[in-house]
Structure 1
Amino acid sequence: MAKIAFLELEGWEEDIVKWELRDHDLILKHEKISDDIIDEISDVEMLSVFIYSKINGDILDRLPNLKAIMTRSTGYDHIDLEECKKRGIAVFNVPDYGSNTVAEFTFLLILSLVRKIRTIMEAKSGIDVHLELRGRDLKGKTIGIIGTGRIGSYVAKLAHAFGMRILAYDIYPRKELVERYGVKYVDLDTLLRNSDIVTLHLPYTKETHHIINRNNIKKMKKGALLINTARGGLIETEAIIEALDKGILGGVALDVIEGEWILVEEMDVVYGRRPFSVEELRKGIEVHILMNYPNVIITPHIAYNTWEALNRILETTINTIKGFLSGKELKNRII
């Protein structure tokens, strides 16, 4: 019997976890990690978290028996891998819970921009609906996909169905995308210069930090749209604001953004329950500035959020725990 803690669980998930891992000592919490929670789970051997639980060295020091962390997400930038490695703690993710799920949401954002959905929803009486609410077709437009892993590949599939030209940038080109959907792999600058829509589908690492920045965003086609459903740190937020002000970007849709925590925890900041740095505060202010642009759509990190995807995430996590306990070699092990 292992002692296992699950944080950030919803009620329906608890029932499944209790049944599937019924032979183990379970601690199930709705909350993300905090000082109070750490005291309750201090002797656990395995820990499953979602993206809002930040796991660093200080937290790991208070979990001396911890052997493995299972994050119920594809991204794992909320976990300090170096600190885990020092302590011999294994880290697992969910590499493919919904390629179609996030890709579909990506096109929801794209269509919302090209058909001016925000403007339509906020339209006042008396406007010229034929002119001010006029949108554009996707057919014949060029989409630039940065990152053609599972999600990026599905975006290419949908773009092909819309009759779009497809450019892509990835250090590992996929031959099947070229053959099946006519994807053309190019360098990043070429993609930025020639795409009507640029969408990001990369993991967040030191190498991909601010892959879109104030130096290269100015190379984008005038009036282009920028979409991010991957990780906020891929784009320098100040660069977006500057590009909007200069008319380089015609619209932006972000499901993730630097400083997105402020949308979740801003009341904790206001009441002093959550300490923050000057840099964090600056990022939070930038988020609110972006919200004021009529051609910007910001959603609260929900591209993954369908019943089907969440069920797949939980199933993969439970199977990972069972596999780890039985000593299996698991493909979704990060370290």
Structure 2
Amino acid sequence: MSQKKILFYDAKPYDQASFEVANAAYRFDFKFLRSHLTEDTAVIAKGYDAICLFVNDHLTASIADILVENTISIVALRCAGYNNIDLHAAYKRLHVVRVPSYSPYAVAEHATALMLALNRKTHKAYYRTRDNNFTINGLMGFDMRGKTAGVIGTGQIGKVLMQILHGFGMTILAYDKFPDRAFAEQYGVRYVELDELYAESDIISLHCPLTKETYHLINEQTINKMKPTVMLINTGRGQLIDSKALVDALRDKRVGAAGLDVYEEESDYFFEDFSTEIVDDDVLARLISFPNVLLTSHQAYFTQEALSQIATTTLRNLQEYFDGKPLPNEICYQCGDTCRKKTEGRCF
């Protein structure tokens, strides 16, 4: 049997390295492209057996048409989120598989790092001491112990974060459509409605998926329900926060600080080097300019362990498809989340 050919879009050197290591067990034939999936680049997929996408590759209805025309039948996402995929256009035409879990520790620990850095201003202290400035004026923080953290979304990442914050001695409030009462009892977590979480939390961290219901979950109205000193942390999806509303709230001192690893228009900038250019996204530029905003470029997942797990799961998803086996990590328009159809083990 000839080697199956996999085309990677938006591939970086670290993607290539991790997938080539994992490929020792599969021996697929890889082609890595730096370019994103677009209508122009979709035609390159002709002659390949599958394509592999990342978070900023958008599979639209028109692109789905091109892929199907070029006999692509499976799309492998090397990420957990799939809001960049038009599942309606893909349904019964393209199998779409994802990596539902890679390292909840990586993302939860990065969220914690953002909290600690913003609180104790270690990023500012770093630059001061490099300039031989050893003053500590303006670097005062607060004890995490005894403060209240609100966690929105209590899946694997949210649970790991709550365990970390429990270790800090924080009071933890949580919101989830499907609360885990046993976990809550074990770690002293109290599930509440969103309005109560907004009103009582000193720090709010977002770990829910991006859906129609959670789009701009943090907006002008919800921000007005929060403490003016609240710290907002987002390591989920950029569109969970209305960025313009956040800018206005930061300007008006209705938000104390924001730690963002994602941004709703990030696909134009994140993962690329614009250090010699001017950022022409006014909202992004304004966010970066605030001294109480710490922005990282979608790196929360970026650990050795996570990259290894992403590569291994992605290639296993593809091998299961080529072998005609059930696809436990398939997503579809009907199911919305991981496809649960067990009749034939596949969405269609």
- Whether the TM-score (by the shorter chain) exceeds 0.5 is yes
The equivalent residue for 2:343 is none
Alignment counterpart, residue 62 of structure 2, candidates 58, 61, 82: 58
The equivalent residue for 1:156 is 162
Write out per-residue CA displacement over residues 93-129 of structure 1, whole angstroms, 9 at most, x where no aligned residue.
1111010010000000000111012332344889893
Once residues 268 and 76 of structure 2 are traced to their aligned partners in structure 1, the CA distance between those partners, rounded to angstroms, is 25
Whether the aligned pair in 1 keeps the contact of 2:207 and 2:235 (CA below 8 Å) is yes
Structure 1 segment 198-277 matched on structure 2, within 5 A: 198-264=204-270
The equivalent residue for 2:97 is 92
Once residues 237 and 54 of structure 1 are traced to their aligned partners in structure 2, the CA distance between those partners, rounded to angstroms, is 21
Whether the aligned pair in 2 keeps the contact of 1:5 and 1:28 (CA below 8 Å) is yes
The equivalent residue for 1:277 is none
Offset of residue 67 of structure 1: 1.4
The equivalent residue for 1:301 is 298
AA of the residue aligned to 2:182: E
* Aligned partner of residue 205 in structure 2, secondary structure: strand
The equivalent residue for 2:8 is 6
Closer, same or farther: CA 222–25 of 1 in aligned 2, 3 Å: closer
Identify which range, 38-47 or 222-231, moves more after superposition: 38-47
Once residues 331 and 207 of structure 1 are traced to their aligned partners in structure 2, the CA distance between those partners, rounded to angstroms, is 25
* Aligned partner of residue 161 in structure 2, secondary structure: helix
Closer, same or farther: CA 36–20 of 1 in aligned 2, 3 Å: farther
Once residues 130 and 288 of structure 1 are traced to their aligned partners in structure 2, the CA distance between those partners, rounded to angstroms, is 27
Once residues 329 and 206 of structure 2 are traced to their aligned partners in structure 1, the CA distance between those partners, rounded to angstroms, is 22
Whether the aligned pair in 1 keeps the contact of 2:43 and 2:67 (CA below 8 Å) is no
Q: TM-score, normalised by structure 2?
A: 0.85
Whether the aligned pair in 1 keeps the contact of 2:128 and 2:134 (CA below 8 Å) is no
AA of the residue aligned to 1:60: A
Offset of residue 19 of structure 1: 3.3
RMSD across aligned positions (CA)? 2.4
The equivalent residue for 1:45 is 49
Offset of residue 41 of structure 1: 1.3
The equivalent residue for 1:177 is 183
Alignment counterpart, residue 78 of structure 1, candidates 61, 75, 84: 84
Identify which range, 225-234 or 9-18, moves more after superposition: 9-18
Write out per-residue CA displacement over residues 39-66 of structure 1, whole angstroms, 9 at most, x where no aligned residue.
3212433211111221112212211212
Alignment counterpart, residue 115 of structure 2, candidates 92, 96, 110: 110
AA of the residue aligned to 2:21: I
Whether the aligned pair in 2 keeps the contact of 1:167 and 1:191 (CA below 8 Å) is yes
Once residues 89 and 288 of structure 2 are traced to their aligned partners in structure 1, the CA distance between those partners, rounded to angstroms, is 36
Offset of residue 314 of structure 1: 0.3
Offset of residue 18 of structure 1: 5.0
AA of the residue aligned to 2:223: I
AA of the residue aligned to 1:239: A
Offset of residue 248 of structure 1: 1.6
AA of the residue aligned to 2:324: G
Write out per-residue CA displacement over residues 257-300 of structure 1, whole angstroms, 9 at most, x where no aligned residue.
11112324696xx89xxxxxxxxx7xx21011111100001100
Once residues 133 and 75 of structure 2 are traced to their aligned partners in structure 1, the CA distance between those partners, rounded to angstroms, is 54
Offset of residue 3 of structure 1: 3.9
The equivalent residue for 1:31 is 35
Offset of residue 197 of structure 1: 0.1
Whether the aligned pair in 2 keeps the contact of 1:119 and 1:294 (CA below 8 Å) is no
Q: Which ranges in structure 2 are unaligned for 5 or more consecutive residues? A: 333-348
Q: How many residues align?
A: 321
Whether the aligned pair in 1 keeps the contact of 2:38 and 2:58 (CA below 8 Å) is no
The equivalent residue for 1:333 is 330
Once residues 33 and 24 of structure 2 are traced to their aligned partners in structure 1, the CA distance between those partners, rounded to angstroms, is 16
Identify which range, 238-247 or 186-195, moves more after superposition: 238-247
Whether the aligned pair in 2 keeps the contact of 1:145 and 1:200 (CA below 8 Å) is yes
* Aligned partner of residue 166 in structure 1, secondary structure: strand
AA of the residue aligned to 1:262: D
Write out per-residue CA displacement over residues 13-45 of structure 1, whole angstroms, 9 at most, x where no aligned residue.
3533653332x5543334332455433212433
Once residues 6 and 133 of structure 2 are traced to their aligned partners in structure 1, the CA distance between those partners, rounded to angstroms, is 58
Moved over 4 A (4+): 124-128
Once residues 266 and 132 of structure 1 are traced to their aligned partners in structure 2, the CA distance between those partners, rounded to angstroms, is 31
Once residues 240 and 43 of structure 1 are traced to their aligned partners in structure 2, the CA distance between those partners, rounded to angstroms, is 46
Offset of residue 177 of structure 1: 2.1
The equivalent residue for 1:276 is none
Q: TM-score, normalised by structure 1?
A: 0.88
Closer, same or farther: CA 27–193 of 1 in aligned 2, 3 Å: same
The equivalent residue for 2:313 is 316
Whether the aligned pair in 2 keeps the contact of 1:20 and 1:318 (CA below 8 Å) is no
Identify which range, 189-198 or 24-33, moves more after superposition: 24-33
Offset of residue 194 of structure 1: 0.1
Identify which range, 32-41 or 42-51, moves more after superposition: 32-41
Identify which range, 47-56 or 30-39, moves more after superposition: 30-39
